[in-house]
Amino acid sequence: MRDYGFGSGGAFHWFLQRVSGVVLFILLLVHFLTTHYFPVGDITYQKVLARLSQPGWKLFYMVFIALGLYHGINGIWIIAQDYVARSSWRFIILGLLMVAGLILFMLGSITVIPFKA
Amino acid sequence: MPTRRFKIFRYNPHTDERPRYQEYEVQVPTGSTVLDALNEIKWTQDGTLTYRRSCRHGICGSCAMTINGANMLACEAQVHTLKRDPIVVEPLRSFPVIKDLVVDMDGFFDKLLLVKPYLIVKTPPPTDKERYQSPEDRKLLDGAYECILCGACTSSCPSFWADKEFLGPAALLKAYRFIFDTRDEGVQERLDVLDNKHGLWRCHTIFNCVEACPKGLNPTWAIGELKKKVISEKF
């Protein structure tokens, strides 16, 4: 009988994909409600600046960025695993995705963290 | 008596460069199934047409094939319900073709064996009675034990099209049938087989298997339960 390549599972990433999806939905809801539906008066740069200067909102958006990137990149990785069988290609794709995720996370961080009025 | 046209996939890998389709006209009395029509073709028009069949009652699973693009049992597919003309009959997708409508099911059954499709018990059996299973425990297996292993679900699964080593819905449904059997003591060894890169996590809940199953079973739901079981065991 053939060996079907048992060894590396996917339980952890499957579980985290669902958890991150639920949390992202809540974060997105909060983001939309505060930014687009219930702003006091018109949205202005000054108001956004005031909100993003608060540590709590910084933390909110850093979590948002981290989970959004994890969810998106993990999704692409799951699709890649369906179609790419060779372990060398899998290694390259996973590496590229992780590097892309890291760069995007850094870009997000240098935008959100130093933001102040 | 009405006449229907059938466009049938023909291929002999030993002699043909590529597959072709051949058309036949068949008289179909009311109540005819696609299997009846195939028999009529083979017995009266073209004895070289090759397909699997056995029980003719939708229980052996031999005659699963793709009819008008959907996987079904030829013996259960009533010709009058098939509106497309001609009726296109093809072998199950993604399995290697041996000849015409006959596919190689070895890989399919290999994967079934991998999930250990039998009761695993380590404790000695009671001496005065059989291993007890309450009616409630038995009910847990409804929708899982009825699988006839025709392969219609696995052949319809896009995850299987992409990854031929994916266990597939039939093997996973069989795993469910034993993992959720309260008499079974082999949960962990089966879960080890399922939790791998060609196992449970390749299912993306596409539901093609549910649509294809001629017995009306729901492998996608069973796979979801198995995923929850693995997660609850691990974390």
pLDDT digits (tens, 9 = 90+) for A35-79: 888 766 777 888 888 888 999 999 999 999 999 999 999 999 989
Inform me whether the pLDDT recorded for A10 exceeds 60: yes
**Helix (H/G/I), strand (E/B), else coil: B210:** helix
Cβ burial of B183 (10 Å; 0-12, 13-18, 19+) is middle
Which residues on A lie below 8 Å from B227 (Cβ)?
Answer: 11, 14
Domain membership of residue A67 (yes or no) is: yes
Q: What pLDDT does A12 receive?
A: 87
A–B CB contacts, 8 A cutoff, strictly below: 64
Domain membership of residue A3 (yes or no) is: no
Contact B225, B144 (CB under 8 A): no
Inform me whether the pLDDT recorded for A1 exceeds 50: no
Confidence at A2, pLDDT banded by 50, 70, 90: very low
Domain membership of residue A39 (yes or no) is: no
Domain membership of residue A10 (yes or no) is: no
Find the Cα–Cα–Cα–Cα dihedral A31, A34, A37, A38, rounded to 10°: 170
pLDDT, tens digit, 9 for 90 and up, residues B86-123: 999 999 999 999 999 999 999 999 999 999 999 999 99
Inform me whether the pLDDT recorded for A113 exceeds 80: yes
Contact B193, A6 (CB under 8 A): yes
The answer to whether A82 contacts B114, with C-beta atoms less than 8 Å apart, is no
Question: In one letter, which amino acid is B197?
Answer: K
**Helix (H/G/I), strand (E/B), else coil: B102:** strand
The total of other beta-carbon atoms located within 10 Å of residue B22's CB is: 14
Question: In one letter, which amino acid is B3?
Answer: T
Average pLDDT value over all residues in chain A: 87
State the nearest Cα–Cα gap between A78 and chain B, in angstroms: 8
List, for chain B, all residue ranges whose pLDDT scores fall below the cut of 70. none
Comparing C-alpha atoms, which of B49, B36, B87, B89 is closest to residue B66? B89
Q: Is the peptide bond before B86 cis (omega within 30 degrees of 0)?
A: yes
Q: What pLDDT does A4 receive?
A: 32
Domain membership of residue A84 (yes or no) is: yes
The highest-level CATH class for domain B3-103 is: alpha beta
- What's the CA angle centered on A100, arms A113 and A5, to 5 degrees? 130
**Structural domain boundaries, residue A82:** 49-115
Tally the domains of chain A. 1
Smallest Cβ–Cβ distance between A9 and the set B110, B167, B196 belongs to: B196
Q: What pLDDT does B64 receive?
A: 98
Q: How far is CA B97 from CA A76, B18, B51, B74, B129, in A?
A: 32, 11, 11, 17, 48
Where are chain B's structural domains? 3-103, 106-234
The answer to whether B197 contacts A14, with C-beta atoms less than 8 Å apart, is no
Smallest Cβ–Cβ distance between A11 and the set B165, B167, B230 belongs to: B230
Thinking of the domain B106-234, which architecture would CATH place it in? Answer: Orthogonal Bundle (1.10)
Taking the alpha carbons of B33, B39, B40, B41 in that order, is the dihedral positive or negative? positive
Domain membership of residue A41 (yes or no) is: no
Find the Cα–Cα–Cα–Cα dihedral A62, A66, A69, A73, rounded to 10°: 170
